[in-house]
Structure 1
Amino acid sequence: MNFSSLGLAAPLLNAITESGFSTPTAIQSAAIPPALRGADVLGQAQTGSGKTVAFALPLLHGLLAARTAAGNAPRKLHGLVLAPTRELAAQVGEVLRGLASHLPQPVKVSVAFGGVSINPQMMALRGGTDIMVATPGRLLDLVEHNALKLDDTSVLVLDEADKLLDMGFADELARIMALLPARRQNLFFSATFPPAVQVLADKLLHEPVRVATEQEASQAPDITQRAIEVDQSQRTSLLRILLKEEGWRQVLVFVATKYASEHVADKLRRGGVAAEAFHGDFSQGARTSVLNDFREGKLKVLVATDVAARGIDIAQLPVVVNYDLPRAPADYTHRIGRTGRAGASGLAVSFITPDAEQHFRLIEKRQNVRVERERLPGFEPATLAQPLPPGANDGTGGIKGKRKSKKDKLREAAAKSAS
């Protein structure tokens, strides 16, 4: 199958060719035709599957048709894309602008997110915009400042809908939905569909076409997984040895907390490794600077939390290290999916401490894989694996005690708000 068989307008086909796209991915082939027909779409696809283009092309196709029908009428907001993080919002904006730049008529794509001054974003919206890409909180700020109206929106896109709810945006989403017209097209895309997302979809979508694609073997990412057993106190030393002996040129390291991000990065720097922390407390300027340094090879190691790393796309990233395992098994897929993209091979290494063994078994079960355990000389764990505490294996991931984590509370609040 090629893009010309999907029913896209001729100017878009030219834009696709000039943008360097060749053949559509599985999610693009499945989602674009119903989206072009105006149907609501519920799309499930893993990280790196091409879902941004799967909704970007229908958005632009619909905009071209609307412009033809409207003639010289004032510009109206055609499409609204909501993303959970500023990095993802920026990347979606880049894809839309890249495709739109090859169209015969100018298309205005605006991007807005928090962490930076709102004034330039308000100025950029003077005269309206065709497509708005935003994080929920900043979008509401713009509406409250009368910089943007949503009552003419034709298409709503939720990108990474599971993360929008998982990160506690349920209240903001409810407020945004109240501002949108009742008659609109809805395109929901997500890597996973937990109950809260399904409830939201059932509530907002009208007879949606559900598209759940499994990557074909030829398209499946080539990711080698390794699991190395090590005591908790030896993980940083093991990471330094691996960086030296394996010759990794660029590594994204996942940790559980902001403190761990700073602590591990500092230890690596003391050992002569060009490393930097990356977490949610960074200003937008600091985030942009660090990511640029990492992309350009000035940094060898980026030590990140899950929240900070969502939406990051590093071309040809060779290695991902799970210094701490993710709490949710689904997040393991998101993490390792940062490597092995666009036909490149990748490596995902997980450090398995004795206390984390049972949780990694849960991850293996959910991913339907078995990763052989390794023990490296000098780093053999001195302690035995601990049994999983009662009630810990509840299917949401993580080794938990009796007290609920902040993330668990946000999940519960999201589920209640969505219902």
Structure 2
Amino acid sequence: MVVSSFAIGILAQKLFFLGFTDACLVCFFFNMIGVIPVCYFSTFGSRFGLRQMVLSRFWFGWHGVKIIAIFNILACLGWSAVNSIVGAELIHAVNNDVPGYAGIIIISICTLLVTFFGYKIVHVYEFWSWIPTTIVFLIILGVFAHSGDFVNLPMGFGVSEMGSVLSFGSVIYGFATGWSSYAADYTVYQPSNQSRTNIFFAVWIGLMIPLLFTEMLGIAIMTATTLNDGVNKYADGYAASGTGGLLAAVLFDPLGGFGKFCLVILALSIIANNCPNIYSVGLAVQVLGGKLTQRVPRFVWTAVGTGVYIAIAIPGYSHFETVLENFMNFIGYWLAIYEGIAFADHFIYKRRMAAYVLAHYDQPSKLPPGIAAIFAFCCGIAGMVCGMSQVWFVGPIALKAGEAPYGGDVGFELGFAFSFVSYAVARRFELKFFGR
């Protein structure tokens, strides 16, 4: 329940020119798809007591998982950078004298202070922080509904609409499935006999309700920027300070100083969103192996990661929408490939939890060689390239899924399909020759 997910909803009209109803339908169905891997992987944490990257050794092998860990580190840092930009926009909207880079540093340092002291402090902060932000979002909903400025933008049609739906869906999927690569990191503390069904649906409810609420709220409020009644405070606010300016246009006139207080609360909500990202950086670094990564305390890697994502976020502040779209697609692409390999191994070859020999998690000679997984990962990349739709490249299949020259993004769908099928075939040969 944070402002980053609200910012995702804004992209429906801003970048993809969708109407209200079609954008909400895309939001619903692609979130449904995206959260399923997160929910499923979360059930592994309690049963095995292993973090997600360590657990991934059973699918990718001792050496292959290091490639996945690098992608996970990049994803965590990217998430943190994107989120901190949103928080900085809110701070700038409250006080124009605070530049974007200062807001990014404020959010980043506050996040570091929470994660510095380990999981228990992170858990306590996450346990309570959703309450004030939920209250603020309800206030935003009430004020905007009372204003009567909602515009029911019509649904599009034809090939252009199909391309926009697929491309926005890719962004929604990337945001929803983004926790897959560290889902088990935060369920390892559950009892080993905890019901997997309970964990699955607890995570499902905990993701779906806030994602749908905040993203659809962003979709609705962004429609007001299309009002044609002279001066448009929503469009002006968004042009001045992005997400923060848009929310300021909703709150400042009717609520005054209290509206500014609400924006500060939302800006601080970014800390809750960034804590799991930056905390998991240290866990992923240690999976890379070697004396350096093992002996250096995790809080040091957390601090280093903080410095890196600050350096990424500051230059990205001035063109946030492009950064957000490209990053969400990157997340969706690589995680779809990761999920395709993991699901192929689990459902075709292991099939049950008892097939995992936990004693092998730190024994390279007894883990899979990882050749099939790396081969499938490369095949997944090939599928991703064929289906991706970016400003700098549009794949041949994507071009057929939407209106030229932009097409429709089907990169994550093809990445999953290619990696799943290729792993299912290659793993059979790997088992035959290596027996593990």
TM-score normalised per structure 1: 0.23
Q: Which has the higher contact order (CA 8 A, sep 6+)?
A: 2
User: Larger % of strand: which?
Assistant: 1
